[in-house]
Amino acid sequence: MKAICVTADRTLEVRDIPTPEEPPPGHVLVDMDASTITHGDKFFLTRPLPGAAAFASGGNDVYGSNGGGTVVAIGAGVPEDYAGRQVAIYKTLTRSQDTIGVWCGRAQVPYANCLILPDSVHGRDYCGSFANILTVYAFLSEAAAAGHKAVIVTAGSSATGRIAVSLTRRRNVEAIFLVRSTASRDDLIRHGAKHVVVTANEGFESDLGALAEELGATAVFDGVGGGLLSRIVPVLPMNATVSIYGFLGGPTPISFPTMLVMGKNLTLRRFSNLETATVRDPQSLAAARKDIEGLIDDPLFRTRIGKEFSFEQIDDAMAYEATPGARALLIPSL
């Protein structure tokens, strides 16, 4: 089968590799319909985390992290519920040396890395959704456990921002969403957000500070960083924690007086869903997966599709930039 693989010098190339036919215990074979290209796929291609290179590609060096397709075979110990079902895949959710995929014609992954999709939806619409949903889900669970009353979402119009609109509403959690335009504000309000602040407005920092103080919004879910984080840190309430999960702001550095950290008892930390109790505990992960399966048909959870590419067009697909949140898709059948 055709597959997009990572080379020793961290470039990508299309190869012919053996098609898996018999999944090992605990694994499923998935005929891939589509895979997404995420910011992480681009970033970690050239900046792999220490010790993670072996798991970034899996068997045959196949690259990619998110995709979807139909289960065509299940290994020993896999629940029968997975047989023949559409699934969304988050490849790195649990690690296995037997993983093959997901930028290929047929993936082989642990069944725990798959989210069963209802028959009523088109699987391609959710091929990049599982990782984003689980990230927000795990963050909100941690914030609640730490006693935070309300949250601030910096990338309000992103895929994770839209998911946060849905999940905070379902959990009755007060949330403030930051967006760059009135059009984005109006869109989130139409989908149920109550508190949306436009960062381009004059005096947005004071408006955010007052609202955060009123709601007790001390948990920040930051996917932007850079200049935006520099602007909001000074107006955060006492004892706020900034959880940094993304870098939409690119290489722009953050800048603020360190006296703010001392004076307000602020915490800045990296956030990865893989390091949370939701994911690290197998029972908690199974419960989260089942919970998300019951919510997945929410339109806010859909993967926003930008443009479809064949495997041979991988260079163009990696360079593709669409409207914020829209993804390039890799289609094996093109």
Q: What's the CA angle centered on 208, arms 323 and 202, to 5 degrees? A: 70
CA angle 58, 109, 72 (to 5 degrees): 135
Is residue 164 within 8 A of residue 137, CB to CB? The reply is no
Domain closes at, from 256, 275, 294 = 275
CATH number (domain holding residue 265)? 3.40.50.720
Looking at the domain assignment, is residue 289 inside a domain?
no
| 3-state SS string for 144-157 | HHCCCCEEEECCCC
Contact 101, 91 (CB under 8 A): yes
Three-state secondary-structure class, residue 63 = coil
Q: How many CB atoms lie within 10 A of CB 253?
A: 10
If asked whether residues 76 and 181 sit together in one domain, one would say no
| CA dihedral sign, ordered 8, 14, 17, 20 | positive
Q: What is the distance between the alpha carbons of residues 278 and 263, in angstroms, rounded to a whole number?
A: 32
Does residue 288 lie within any of the structural domains?
no
**Residue 157 to residues 47, 123, 191, 323, Cα–Cα distance (Å):** 26, 23, 11, 11
Residues 262 and 223 in one domain: yes
Query: pTM (2 decimals)?
Result: 0.94
Considering the domain architecture, whether residues 40 and 120 belong to the same structural domain is answered as: yes
pLDDT in tens, the chain (334 residues): 999 999 988 899 999 999 999 999 999 999 999 999 988 898 888 776 554 444 445 567 999 999 999 999 999 999 999 999 999 999 999 989 999 989 999 999 999 999 999 999 999 999 999 999 999 999 999 999 999 999 999 999 999 999 999 999 999 999 999 999 999 999 999 999 999 999 999 999 999 999 999 999 999 999 999 999 999 999 999 999 999 998 888 889 999 999 999 999 999 999 999 999 999 999 999 999 999 999 998 999 999 999 999 999 999 999 998 766 789 999 998 8
Give the Cα separation of 139 and 267 in Å (integer): 15
> DSSP for 271-323?
--GGGSHHHHSHHHHHHHHHHHHTTTT-GGGS--EEEEE-GGGHHHHHH---S
Q: What residue numbers bound the domain in which 269 lies?
A: 132-275
119 burial (CB, 10 Å; 0-12 / 13-18 / 19+) is exposed
Residue owning tokens 């829209």: 326
Same domain, 193 and 233: yes
What does DSSP assign to residue 111?
A: G
Domain CATH code at residue 47? 3.90.180.10
- Let me know if residue 280 belongs to a domain: no
